[in-house]
């Protein structure tokens, strides 16, 4: 009986600890903020070309598998954009961020519409 009283709480503790595991593959866990002067020349050239007329607000370096990706947030013509650039300067993606990109399914007004 004492053994059962020891095992049950341990199983419960293991279950709770397992709930913390997050298999979110968006790379957010390994982002490192970088300055424009820290960017490789090829990445800087691509970012300069793609952000003409815009304002770069943040640049992060992150690992996607074994590939280094530079993720830049910018505002252009009143819209928010995210650019992903590989370390060799190739443009991986450029997409406009929308209100539903915040992952909570709600608009800025708090309603799910």
Any idea where the domains of the chain sit in the sequence?
30-98
Angle, vertex CA 36, rays to CA 62 and CA 67, nearest 5: 25
Separation between Cα atoms, residue 61 and residue 71, nearest integer Å: 6
What does CATH list as the number for 30-98? 3.10.450.360
DSSP string, 37-60: GGS-HHHHHHHHHHTTTEEEEEEE
For 48-103, the pLDDT digits (tens) are 999 999 999 999 999 999 999 999 999 999 999 999 999 999 999 999 998 765 55
Percent of the chain residues topping a pLDDT of 70 = 62
Q: What is the pTM of this model?
A: 0.63
């Amino acid at each position: 009986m004492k053994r059962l009283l020891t095992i049950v709480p341990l199983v419960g503790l293991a279950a709770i600890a397992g709930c913390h595991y997050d298999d979110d593959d968006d790379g957010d866990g390994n982002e490192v903020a970088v300055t424009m002067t820290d960017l490789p020349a090829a990445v800087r050239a691509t970012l300069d070309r793609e952000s003409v007329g815009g304002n770069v607000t943040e640049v992060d370096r992150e690992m996607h598998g074994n590939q280094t990706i530079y993720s830049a947030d910018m505002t252009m013509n009143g819209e928010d954009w995210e650019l992903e650039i590989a370390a060799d300067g190739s443009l991986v993606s450029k997409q406009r961020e929308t209100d539903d990109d915040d992952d909570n399914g709600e608009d800025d007004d708090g309603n799910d519409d």
